[in-house]
Every structure is written in C-alpha cells, then in structure tokens.
Amino acid sequence: MAWCTEAVPNLPHREQTNEYGLPGYGASSYGDAFADIYDEWYESLDDADFVRFMTTHLDTYCAQRDALILELGVGTGRLLAQLITARLQKDSLVGVDSSAAMLAALSKRGLPSRVSTMCCDMSRDLPPGSFDLVFIGYNTIFNLPSEQSLSACLSLVASRIQPDGFLIIDAVVPNDADGDNVSVRSITTDSVVLSISSHNKASQHISGQFIEFSKTDGVRLRPWVLTYWTPSQLDTIATVAGLELMDRYATGDGQPFTSDSPRHISRYRTSR
C-alpha cells in the first residue's frame, strides 16, 4: 500500500528516537499493554453523545438500507457494541486494530456475525470496501506517531469511503500544559497504580506509563504514547489526504464548537 508523502505545512518537526519517540514502543504496544484492563478502567467514559451523533447521520444517510461501517482502532469493541445497539438496521461492521490482544478481547463480547475484524496498522492497510461511515473514537487518532502516518491513514480512508460517505473523528483539543506529571490513579489494600507522563509541547508529543504495584502480581508497566494535533492541523493534513471538513461540533449533541471547546467531533467527506 503506497504511503502519502506530500509535505504538510506549518507543523512542528519531530526529532525522536523512533517514530513513536519511546524506545521499544510500536503500533501494537498500547493495545497489548491495556487489553486485559481496558473495559474495567474506561467503562465510565462518557462518549454516548458520539454514538448518538453517528447514529443520527446514519439514520439520515442510510435511512432505508443497511450501512457498511468501519471503525479504526476498534480495541475491545466498546463503541462498536454501542453503535450496534443504537441502530435498528442490520449494518455490516468492520473493526481494525493493530493489537491482536485487543481483538481477542473483542471476540469475547459475542457480537453478531455481521461484525468482522482485521489486525493491521491503520496507516499501512485497511480492509477493502466502499464504506458509508468510517469513525475514530476517543483520541484514537492520536495513536498515530507522525504527520506521515496520519496522512497515510487519512489517504487510505479517502480511498475507502463512498462518494457521499463520511469520516467522523472524536478528539480532545490539546491544552497548554507542558512538562512531567506524576499522580495516583488508584489505591487499594493490595495494589497501587501510578500514572507518570512527560509532555513536550514543542513536539506535540506525550509519553507515559501506568505503573501497577500488586501484592499478588508484582509490578506491571503499561506504556502509552500520544502525538496530538489541533483541529486546524487535522484539517490541513486531511486536505492533503483528499478529505474536506463538513462540520465540527463541541459535542455529539450539536453544541457549537468554539475556541474554548475542550473537545471536537469533526465530520469529513472525500474531496476527490
């Protein structure tokens, strides 16, 4: 699969040890480290409005037929399961993830047979098809390590969506915090989980570890890496990749997006 290598203007240059900026870290590292606890740790994520947003547009665009839907970074299938419940149609759904451990967790959900999965790096390959909707939930777009990989991913998406289909992204708007951070995530009588992270604002790069000390299991490290983009930077990269912004909101319930919004839900369509 060819990569998109066109230059993207006005984005910071990143000098890193490897593409992810953390020695030994790769495309599957996050999923492999978090698959066993992801649903437990993140079950309280409040992104039901994102599912409502997708359902509303699907109900309009595919009112009389089933849709073909692709989720990038499907993980344990948390969002995919919600979308299936919210839609009355018998959509065909495909989830891709770079971590076999995440997909193994998804397989235990007992999702219907019209759901299929593919283990791949979403910047290098995507399943064939002409999708009505491609979506990326809860900052998953920031798991891509570089402008090149993001552009390659969006170029692949542009080649996989229907002429009147769309891509929807849910992501936070980066804040101005910089430097290192150490905090306590949880404490029980026999375990402690610490969160340690380092944020380089100049390179728009955050790396971190959850360090779990357990009386029975010893020490467990769960590394994570983010390379983030502002909404305007995402729009620039999307344009190069053959996509254009349709609309952007602060929430999935249609709250207007402003310069003070901490989050954005953005919908793109192909420009080719």
Instruction: Kindly write down the DSSP assignment for every residue of 188-216, as one continuous string.
Output: -SSEEEEEEEEEETTTTEEEEEEEEEETT
Q: Among 58-72, 105-119, 153-167, 256-270, where is mean pLDDT lowest? A: 58-72
Residue pair 37/60 in contact (Cβ under 8 Å)? The answer is: no
Residues 165 and 37 placed together within one structural domain of the fold? yes
Residues 149 and 210 placed together within one structural domain of the fold? no
pLDDT score, position 19: 85
Residues 109 and 212 placed together within one structural domain of the fold? no
Residues 155 and 202 placed together within one structural domain of the fold? no
Domain contains 221? yes
How many CB atoms are located within 10 Å of the residue 12 CB?
Answer: 12
Question: Does residue 179 or residue 159 have the better pLDDT?
Answer: 159
Residues 44 and 156 placed together within one structural domain of the fold? yes
Residues 237 and 156 placed together within one structural domain of the fold? yes
Residues 217 and 234 placed together within one structural domain of the fold? no
**Mean pLDDT confidence for 9-27:** 66
* 10 band by pLDDT with thresholds 50, 70 and 90: very low
Residue 82 CB partners (closer than 8 Å, separation 6+): 48, 51
Residues 218 and 126 placed together within one structural domain of the fold? no
Domain contains 245? yes
Q: What is the CATH number of the domain that holds 156?
A: 3.40.50.150
Residue ranges with strand state E in 3-83: 68-72
pLDDT score, position 175: 85
pLDDT digits (tens, 9 = 90+) for 91-107: 999 999 999 999 999 99
Residues 165 and 79 placed together within one structural domain of the fold? yes
Domain contains 15? no
Domain contains 139? yes
**Mean pLDDT confidence for 77-97:** 94
Residues 254 and 184 placed together within one structural domain of the fold? no
Beta strands at 161-172 and 243-249: parallel, antiparallel or unpaired: unpaired
Give the chain's domain count.
2
Range(s) of the domain holding residue 196: 179-225
Domain contains 191? yes
| pTM to 2 decimal places | 0.90
Residues 183 and 119 placed together within one structural domain of the fold? no
pLDDT score, position 216: 92
